[in-house]
A and B are shown apart, each in its own frame.
Chain A
Amino acid sequence: MTERFQYDNRIVKNFLFATILWGVVGMLVGLIIAVQMVAQNTPPDAWYFWIVRPFTWLGELEWTKFGRMRPLHTNAVIFAFVGNAIFAGVYYSLQRLLKTRMFSDALGKIHFWGWQLIIVLAAVTLPLGMTSGKEYAELEWPIDILITLVWVVFGINLFGTIIKRRERHLYVAIWFYIATWVTVAMLHIVNSIELPISLTKSYSWYAGVQDALVQWWYGHNAVAFFLTTPFLGLMYYFMPKAANRPVYSYKLSIIHFWALIFLYIWAGPHHLLYSALPDWAQSLGTVFSIMLIAPSWGGMLNGLLTLRGAWDRVREDPVLKFMVVAVTCYGMATLEGPLLSLKSWNAMAHFTDWIIAHVHIGGIGWNGMLTFGVVYWMVPRLYGTKLYSTKLANTHFWLGTLGIVFYAIPLYLAGFWQSGMWKQFTPDGYLVYKNFLDTVMEIKPAYWLRALGGLLYLSGAFIMVYNVMKTVKAGKLIADEEAEAPALEKAAAEEEGGHWHRWIERRPIQMLVGSLVVVAIGGLFELVPTFLVKSNIPTITSVKPYTPLELQGRDIYVREGCYTCHSQMIRPFRSETERYGEYAKAGEFVYDHPFQWGSKRTGPDLLRQGGKYGHSWHYYHMYDPTSMSPGSLMPPYTHLYEHDLDTTTTKKKIEAMITMGVPYDPGFPDRANAHLVQQRDEIVAGLKKDNIDAPADKEIIALIAYLQRLGTDIQAKEITGR
């Protein structure tokens, strides 16, 4: 019996427009910080001063400095741009693959508006400095809870739709959606366990090495299960549609799916090679990353070979062009990723711009270009018309592709080059580039080219906005698209009988449980040992909890996003110990909630910063970095000299630390502020000796206290009287 029903296109349209809007916003923020990164302290007599002034002016404001904008950029492109693209693609393809309308229009609306609310909250709170200080998971706890709720709504709608389907078999794209849903839920919940001390401030429950491991287990799998698996699902649906031929090998897609989700979950520790993470966990990350080449390339080849016999159409159809570049970038990034997780390769590339180039091949290549392809494919269909201009879409394609090239190649070179400079010794055994800043100066041309690449890419996106607007104007939204399909008869299942593998293929719940088991086992085997076993983190007796003033200063460090440019992780290489001091030990970080190892050195490592310079150096440097380091790209932090330190939170913060096992005396929270004032006065007195009249109650004093404490515990063994 044939049933008539309607596909809900309105929800798809909403997500699609949100994708475009947030895409432009996210890329624009990226361009702003790309310019800030190279031009922040441009002297007024430079010829281009007024060209870059709007960007550098933003860099001087408290809210729009690099440290706060970088999390905004990453969150906007990952969760707003790519996130909305995922939902648009899922809501479109799921209905058609299952021959049914979505389970609930209302849930779809809640999902849509809930997700946009999260994005708006992120766009407000991140510039205000409300951050948990963990990359790609910066949003504070109330927003984390909101994300969880909206994700559950999405899940109910997803599984509700699967359950009321008219097509018995679940196409492989849907497997990818299911794995995405279940794994993102797990990752988000585990990584977001934090102890709130107010509505806008919390501490990660984990500390130091454990926090790092959980964070990168999350971080890497955010790449895997937010940027990869759902997009593979979209590829498996939209590429056959656009090419008008079935996927190259369905069997390959099955093997590729299970291998991918199983292997990915283990690969996180490759972000922490040569760090203080236990060696066995690092090796685990490397081994699984190498194995990942197989399923990743399985997916890429399956995508490209779907175009067999249709390559002539790639010349004419911009949709296919975008998709070919996207899948090619996917292949490049997923070969490069495993290579970067080899220790020798990682020693060179880690902390440099190489990694930034790598992630953008994934971000603007794979995610961006596939999204554009899907947008150009879907918009005319949703509006029952033709694309306004194929020519403009082609222009967008070339701008996008050139943008990727101009973005990535200079940064690859910059990374390679700078890493070489960091490691270069004279014949006498001294560092050639003693001053970190000298190595930054050398790669500035690459930063300019990168900004140009970003500008090209963003211009392409603006052309898409125009093209989409014109297309929408020419057509009319087919809000409820008529469709018909035979009802699903229960009896048919038994008739066909036969193969045992259909047990899972037709049953979404089994698929859900299967995916969860596969990813949870990987997670458990990796995380549990580090948590249960004390010997994984050797304790160092000289490592003491932070003083109240240092803790306040540390929170300022987190708030300002210092970790976006400075690492606190000295690797055991001579080139690093020579430059920064003793290499990092796991036991040094046991009181760090959250860890602040960082992942990129735009500025030098700060782990052994304590005592390196006097208080006055920091006092001048934070106010105007170029006064101490001429040519520095760091923005001035003048607001720290204006804002009073909020000491009302001190007691709560110390209490929170005690709750998490930091060994302060039981009565200490009540004495904390007295201790804070005492240490503050000492620093002010120290500054006085250098003829600086520093107001004692400003935030800068706390930050100096923290910076001067950094990494000094290890030396404390030798220094008596500390």
Chain B
Amino acid sequence: MLKFIKGHLTSIDHVDLFPVMAFLIFFTLFIGVLLWVRVMRREQVDHMSALPLADDCTNATSDHAH
């Protein structure tokens, strides 16, 4: 696929680096995201997961409305 892109973009200097750059940017991004979730602390994950459930302090009458 690279040759098609190169063929069409020859007017840009060093255009052959573009796909490599795109790959690197997003490879880094994905590795970063994976690392991020890898190092997340247990208590932080629990805190984040509990956020939607944490706002029931008010209006208790409506909890079992169905």
Contacts and interface: CB of A to CB of B under 8 A. Distances in A.
A483 B58 contact: yes
Interface stretch (A202-210, A236-244, A695-703): A236-244
Interface in A472-529: 478, 481-484, 498-499, 501, 518, 521, 525, 529
A246 B52 CA distance: 8
Contact of B11 (A93, A380, A385, A533): A533
Contacts of A533: 8-9, 11
Contacts of A278: 4, 8
Contact of B58 (A246, A255, A279, A482): A482
A384 B55 contact: no
B41 A518 contact: no
A279 B9 CA distance: 15
| Residue among B34, B40, B49 with most chain A CB within 10 A | B49
Given A97-B52, A171-B52, A250-B49, A255 B4 contact: no
B52 to A, nearest CB: 5
Nearest to A383: B62
Contact of A240 (B25, B37, B41, B53): B53
A376 interface: yes
A387 interface: yes
A380 B65 contact: yes
Interface string B36-56: 110111001111111111010
A244 B63 CA distance: 10
Interface string A68-99: 00000000000000000000000001001101
B57 A254 contact: no
Given A171-B51, A387-B65, A483 B5 contact: no
A171 B53 CA distance: 11
Nearest to B47: A169
Contacts of A258: 29-30, 33
B11 A532 contact: yes
A172 interface: yes
Given A241-B52, A483-B57, A529-B9, A501 B40 contact: yes
Given A172-B48, A499-B39, A521-B25, A318 B55 contact: no
B4 A254 contact: no
Contacts of A240: 49, 52-53
B52 A237 contact: yes
Interface residues of B, number: 41
A585 to B, nearest CB: 17
Contacts of B11: 532-533
Contact of A255 (B34, B41, B44, B50): B34
A386 interface: yes
Chain B interface helix/strand/loop/mixed: helix
A672 B65 CA distance: 68
Contact of B1 (A173, A244, A283): A283
A381 interface: yes
A280 B4 CA distance: 6
A143 to B, nearest CB: 35
Interface in A282-316: 283-284, 316
Given A250-B49, A258-B33, A381 B65 contact: yes
B66 to A, nearest CB: 5
Interface string A155-188: 0000000000001010111000000000000000
B33 to A, nearest CB: 5
A167 B52 CA distance: 12
Given A529-B9, A533-B9, A481 B1 contact: no
A303 to B, nearest CB: 13
7 contacts: A167-B51, A171-B51, A237-B52, A246-B49, A380-B62, A484-B58, A521-B25
Interface of A: 93, 96-97, 99, 167, 169, 171-173, 236-237, 240-241, 244-247, 250-251, 254-255, 258-259, 262, 278-280, 283-284, 316-319, 376-377, 380-381, 384-387, 390, 393, 478, 481-484, 498-499, 501, 518, 521, 525, 529, 532-533, 535-536
Given A172-B48, A251-B45, 7 more contacts: A99-B55, A244-B53, A246-B49, A247-B49, A251-B40, A386-B66, A532-B9
Interface of B: 1, 4-5, 7-9, 11-12, 18, 22, 25-26, 29-30, 33-37, 39-41, 44-53, 55, 57-59, 61-62, 64-66
- Which 10 A-B pairs rank lowest in CB-CB distance, beginning with the nearest? A380-B65, A246-B49, A280-B4, A96-B55, A251-B37, A381-B62, A501-B36, A171-B51, A533-B8, A250-B49
